[in-house]
Amino acid sequence: MATLWKRRIGGRYIYYVDFYYQGKRVRKSTKTSDRKLAELFLKDIEVRIAKEEFGFEAPSSNRIKLGEFFEKYLEFSEATKAANTVLLDGHAQKVFLNFTGNTYLNRITSQRVEEFKLYRLKSVKPVSFNLEFRHLKAMFEKAVKWGHIPSNPFMDVKQVKVKSNNLPKYLTKEEVRKLLDAIPEGRFKSLIIFYLHTGCRRGEALSLTWEDVDLDERKVTIRESKSGESRIIPMNGRLFEILSGLERNGSVVFEFSPYFVTHKFKECLKSADIKGWKTLSLHSLRHTFASHLVMAGRDLYTVGKLLGHSSVAVTQMYAHLAPDFLKVAVESLQY
């Protein structure tokens, strides 16, 4: 797909056409400042490329089908991302491929993406679609960087707006005490305390090995993060006490299945008689960690670093818990 853009030369703008041919970027001047004439020039190039009459060898060597690209991307994903992210990539690929069929990658247009959006929203919630959308958008952005397509067809399509009056659900300090009182002593209780004191995601804690636990330096290294990057979480006194007291029966610190942990946690919420327990999940412990840090006056940047967020914008969901942070910021100025 060719793209049109304009460049100021002398006292006027001239339109240029950018496109990729056999993996190489080509830029041609339309030699006109007339938008309509430039668009005709662009269409002509697209037709000539399609008919293989542009003066180059047949482009079949660079054309790649969607299924082949997805396989290539998944190999990249498995080598650079956390296991759960790889699973989400695979899911998004499957539903998109089922809709489009194994067509050539360069035939996926913004219009086709819009059609996919309407198709998926008939069967899944907006939040679920938005998750699939973000993963697919990242894949096609990589396709651009790898030279398979000139532009990302997902860039001109918007996610579904979701009314977010649902703030992150977290436990109060009293509810945390009730929850811990309801859990028998043992390794599972230690895992729950670990979540509360690190804000880790489910998979991050369950993939933790003893090599990642440094009792001398009192720090935990989280390697299987969603962003694909490692981060270090300092141990406070309680976390040090818990980890130093665990028996080392193997290389993995907490040998539980994700399914068991999720459902066992629900049972514990119910037995602790936590208000609204049905709306809470294991991820609520991550929100609990972050929420109490913000309410204690920790800044969003620091909280985001501990959580492993790729951007402070993600951590912004907790800003409402620190309503005075702007006031505190300006009052710190003394001239």
**Residue 152 placed within a domain:** no
Contact between 221 and 229 (Cβ < 8 Å): no
**Residue 114 placed within a domain:** yes
Give me the catalytic one of 15, 16, 73, 318.
Answer: 318
Active site residue 201: yes
On whether both 132 and 112 belong to a single domain, the answer is: yes
Give me the catalytic one of 197, 201, 287, 292.
Answer: 201
User: Is the entire prediction scored with pTM above 0.85?
Assistant: no
Question: 45, 61, 77: which is the final residue of a domain?
Answer: 61
**Residue 289 placed within a domain:** yes
On whether both 213 and 105 belong to a single domain, the answer is: no
Q: How far apart are CA 328 and CA 100, in angstroms?
A: 53
Hey, how many other C-beta atoms are within 10 angstroms of the C-beta on 5?
A: 11
On whether both 232 and 291 belong to a single domain, the answer is: yes
**Residue 158 placed within a domain:** no
On whether both 139 and 284 belong to a single domain, the answer is: no
Q: What is the residue type of 158? A: K
**Residue 154 placed within a domain:** no
Q: How far apart are CA 14 and CA 4, in angstroms?
A: 10
Give the domain extent around 259.
173-329
Question: 21, 40, 61: which is the final residue of a domain?
Answer: 61
Q: How far apart are CA 40 and CA 229, in angstroms?
A: 46
On whether both 180 and 261 belong to a single domain, the answer is: yes
**Residue 168 placed within a domain:** no
Q: Which run of H or E residues covers position 7? A: strand 3-9
Give me the catalytic one of 117, 226, 287, 292.
Answer: 226
On whether both 178 and 232 belong to a single domain, the answer is: yes
Distances (CA, A) of 98 to 95, 110, 144, 162: 5, 17, 22, 25
Give me the catalytic one of 81, 117, 286, 292.
Answer: 286
On whether both 184 and 257 belong to a single domain, the answer is: yes
On whether both 233 and 290 belong to a single domain, the answer is: yes
Here the tokens at position 5 are 């853009």
Q: Which run of H or E residues covers position 15? A: strand 12-21
Helix (H, G, I), strand (E, B) or coil at 79: helix
On whether both 87 and 139 belong to a single domain, the answer is: yes
Domain total in the chain: 3
Give me the catalytic one of 63, 72, 218, 283.
Answer: 283
Contact between 36 and 4 (Cβ < 8 Å): no
Q: What is the dihedral of CA 179, 184, 187, 189, to 10 degrees?
A: 10
On whether both 74 and 198 belong to a single domain, the answer is: no
Q: How far apart are the first and last CA of the chain?
A: 57
**Residue 150 placed within a domain:** no
Q: How far apart are CA 207 and CA 256, in angstroms?
A: 10
On whether both 177 and 298 belong to a single domain, the answer is: yes
Q: What is the CATH number of the domain that holds 222?
A: 1.10.443.10
**Residue 155 placed within a domain:** no
The residue among 186, 213, 216 whose CA lies nearest residue 200 is 213
Active site residue 226: yes
Q: What does the longest C-alpha to C-alpha distance in the chain come to?
A: 78
On whether both 53 and 76 belong to a single domain, the answer is: no
Question: 145, 164, 197: which is the final residue of a domain?
Answer: 145
Q: What is the CATH number of the domain that holds 98?
A: 1.10.150
Here the tokens at position 73 are 């991307």
Q: How far apart are CA 324 and CA 326, in angstroms?
A: 6
What is the pLDDT tens value at each position of the chain, 335 positions in all? 678 888 888 778 888 888 876 667 788 888 788 888 788 778 777 776 665 544 443 344 457 999 999 999 999 988 887 777 888 899 999 999 999 999 999 889 998 999 999 999 988 888 889 989 999 999 999 999 998 998 999 999 999 987 755 678 899 999 999 999 999 999 999 999 999 999 999 999 999 999 999 999 999 999 866 666 789 999 999 999 999 999 998 999 999 999 999 999 999 999 999 999 998 999 999 999 999 998 888 888 898 999 988 777 778 778 777 656 556 656 656 66
- Let me know if 140 is exposed, middle or buried by CB neighbors in 10 A (0-12, 13-18, 19+): buried
